[in-house]
Amino acid sequence: MALDLDPGQSLSRHARAAELLDAETERDLAIAWRDHKDEAALHRLITAYMRLAISIAWKFRGYGASMNDLIQEAGLGLMKAADRFDPDRGVRFSTYAVWWIRAGMQDFVMRNWSMVRTGSTSSQKSLFFNMRRVRARIEAEAASDGLDLDKHQMREMIATEIGVSLKDVEMMEGRLAGTDFSLNATQSDGEEGREWIELLEDEGEQASDQLEREKDGTQLREWLAEALGSLTDREKLIIAARKLESPARTLESLGAELGLSKERVRQIEAAALVKMRRKLEPQEGELRALMA
């Protein structure tokens, strides 16, 4: 479903005028979208929380993108949240949506900051979004104390404050201060000078990594099959329908098929998951290593 609201100020005015949903109405709308793909319910849910998306987008306005683009990207994050939200978990949609909107905004800003990717590790993202704020605060505190920090001292304090290495701080400073240039530019004036693009690391999956991933996947499937083997036929049916199918079956539909109440299906599902976890306990350490 695409946003059918006007961008910019008209979208902001529309969001401010939207209704405030209580928990029950919000849950009913989420269920209508999840179970029946009711687009009117989705539109009402999205519209009600666009003001939340816009407020988050506003916090990213200092990174070079237009406010219209930021708002549209925040709206996409809101729709992703609505598509993945499970109203049966008892969590308010706004709480769930904040993570999806903020994650989408961060990825959008970093994709558009430079033609060359600025960085994607957790430390690089933390630096990108916090370094200017931390630097400004350190400079203000130093000035109030009458201190004159040199560049190295400033970098060390930023690294300590954000919890990253000094090397990461120096690298991010260079990236944020630099400008985009052609990857086809040569490194020297000679005719045989290599182009910069020749030095870029191939980010595609290597053969060794692919083999290891396939091996890990086979091991995980074997453990999952063993855990499922510890369940009764009814438990297997419920777990497969709720956890292994896409989209997942609802508690109501499974209850109707099995002649059980929604609550009884939920209880069977919870008990089956406990049995599977117990079956997998001997492999807990290896599982964590594979999922890391």
Segment 52-73 mean pLDDT:
85
Q: Sort 208 into a burial class: Cβ within 10 Å, 0-12 / 13-18 / 19+.
A: exposed
Number of neighbouring beta carbons within 10 Å of residue 263: 10
Question: What band does 204 get if pLDDT is binned at 50, 70 and 90?
Answer: low
Q: What number of residues does the chain have?
A: 292
What is the distance of C-alpha 115 from the center of its chain? Answer: 22
Whether residue 226 has pLDDT greater than 90: no
Q: What is the DSSP letter of 64?
A: S
The rounded mean pLDDT for the chain is: 77
Whether residue 181 has pLDDT greater than 60: no
pLDDT of residue 93: 92
Beta bridge partners of 263: none
HSE-up (13 A, CA, CB side) for residue 14: 16
More confident residue, 44 or 129: 44
Distance, CA of 169 to CA of 43 (rounded, Å) = 43
Contact in structure between 227 and 280 (CB atoms under 8 Å) = yes
Segment 271-280 mean pLDDT:
84
Q: Sort 194 into a burial class: Cβ within 10 Å, 0-12 / 13-18 / 19+.
A: exposed
Distance, CA of 126 to CA of 120 (rounded, Å) = 10
Distance, CA of 74 to CA of 57 (rounded, Å) = 6
Contact in structure between 175 and 119 (CB atoms under 8 Å) = yes
Whether residue 161 has pLDDT greater than 80: yes
pLDDT of residue 213: 57
Domains and CATH numbers, the chain: 9-113 (1.20.120.1810), 118-178 (no CATH), 208-291 (1.10.10.10)
pLDDT of residue 259: 92
Rounded to the nearest 5°, which phi and psi values hold at 199?
-95, -5
pLDDT of residue 2: 42
- The three-state secondary structure class of 195 is strand
DSSP annotation string for 166-198: HHHHHHHHHHHH-----TTSBSSSSTTPPBGGG
pLDDT of residue 81: 92
Whether residue 191 has pLDDT greater than 60: no
